[in-house]
Amino acid sequence: VWTEPILHVDMDSFFVEVERLDDPTLTGKTVAVGGPGPRGVIASASYEARRFGVRSAQATSTARRMCPELVVIPPRHERYSEISARVFSVFRSFTPLVEGLSLDEAFLDVSGLRKHYESPVEVGEAVRTRLRTDLGLPASVGVASVKFLAKLASEVAKPDGLRHVRKEDQLAFLHALPASSLWGVGPATLAALSRLGVERVGDVASMPETTLVAAVGPTVGRHLHDLARGHDPRVVVPDIDVKSVSVEETYDQDLLGREVVETALLAHAQRLSGRLRRAGLRARTVTLKVKYPDFTLATRSHTLAAAVDGSRQLYQAALELARGLDVGAQPVRLLGLGGGSLEPADTPTQLEIGHEVEWDKVEDAVAEVRQKFGDRAVGPARLLTGREHPGSSQEP
């Protein structure tokens, strides 16, 4: 009974269900959470909306055409994070062996619960019941011998269900699935596999490892060879530390001109600074990301001598990086700014000159106000538009 001790718990259309908690009139309706603008994309769709063909990652304009009644709600990530913390508290009340994959899904290794439950399936049902009764949220659970099978099982269980894949049935379950359902197979790998005539996972299993390695490279090839046999040595690792923090924005209209880009970077630097400070982190590597209208991406990064979390320091680094790119001459569709090589903020850092200390105090105060009232509550005068600028209406 305990040969399948891995649970994958996946919340059903999580963002939409959180919006329904806060506004029950949305229940039963065709609802989606996503960017409402001309370049917006659906992040989460209710099952009612999915019946019309609405899908996540779809352009909002496409979704509206398929489902004219669709209610599109702009994302509120802070709120989803709050509810996610409660969801993970429920997980950890069952076992400390919880490995989060995102805000709304996690692996649980429940092999330690033999004394308390009859089977892993009973644990899975208990988790689902707790999420439903305590938080009012539906979830689906996959129960299997290893992680990737549990994840595939929860996918099959959706919505609001549980699927148990027994060890003796797992190869039959696995081999019937399309090759694209394997974890790590995206468009590029799928195209390479198609050239080999592979359609199902069973076809992957019948390929010699050398053939797979020749087609998709050694790392992915060996990985696929293992997965197709139901082999997955990865254990559930609790609490993986965050490795990078970033903010980015796709603009409704492309940015044109260095000055416009620099103003946008200042706003990014402030948001990033707030995110880092709230997380108690400092970044030693700063990365600038630019997407041009033809969707080509360029990144430039720089590693500093000491880790930073202040908006001015991040802004200065971003300006330096922007010099290495063709912004200003070329229109810019998206700008992103990120921090990597993260360190805990309690690591002592050397302060260079007197007024830096004062500036740090100012930035701390700003970060605090932002935490209370949102990222856009406080900023330099440069970011104010004419209408908001005090006294601007009095100007001649």
Residues that bind DNA (CB under 7 A): 35, 38-41, 43, 56-59, 61-62, 65, 77, 101-102, 104-105, 151, 182-190, 217-219, 240, 242-250, 275, 284-285, 287, 295-303, 324, 333-334, 336, 338, 341
Query: Please, what is the minimum distance in Å from the beta carbon of residue 42 to DNA?
Result: 8
Q: Return the number of the residue (24 or 186) whose C-beta is nearest DNA.
A: 186
Q: Return the number of the residue (111 or 285) whose C-beta is nearest DNA.
A: 285
Query: Please, what is the minimum distance in Å from the beta carbon of residue 270 to DNA?
Result: 13
Query: Please, what is the minimum distance in Å from the beta carbon of residue 65 to DNA?
Result: 6
Give the DSSP letter of residue 381: G
- Round to whole Å and give the CA distance between 392 and 292: 34
Q: Return the number of the residue (320 or 356) whose C-beta is nearest DNA.
A: 320
Active site includes 168? no
CB of 236 closer than 8 Å to CB of 108: yes
Q: Return the number of the residue (202 or 340) whose C-beta is nearest DNA.
A: 340
- Preceding amide of 75 cis, omega within 30: no
- Pairing type for strands 162-164 and 139-144 reads parallel
CA-wise closest residue to 111 among 102, 119, 103: 119
How buried is residue 349: exposed, middle or buried, by Cβ count under 10 Å (0-12/13-18/19+)? middle
CB of 81 closer than 8 Å to CB of 103: yes
Of residues 48, 105, 118, 249, which has the active-site annotation?
A: 105
Whole-angstrom CA distances from 229 to 25, 83, 203 are: 47, 37, 11
CA-wise closest residue to 147 among 79, 98, 219, 217: 98
Query: Please, what is the minimum distance in Å from the beta carbon of residue 391 to DNA?
Result: 32
CA-wise closest residue to 179 among 210, 206, 202, 161: 202
Q: Return the number of the residue (3 or 210) whose C-beta is nearest DNA.
A: 210
Query: Please, what is the minimum distance in Å from the beta carbon of residue 195 to DNA?
Result: 13
- Round to whole Å and give the CA distance between 133 and 11: 14
**Which residues belong to the active site?**
105
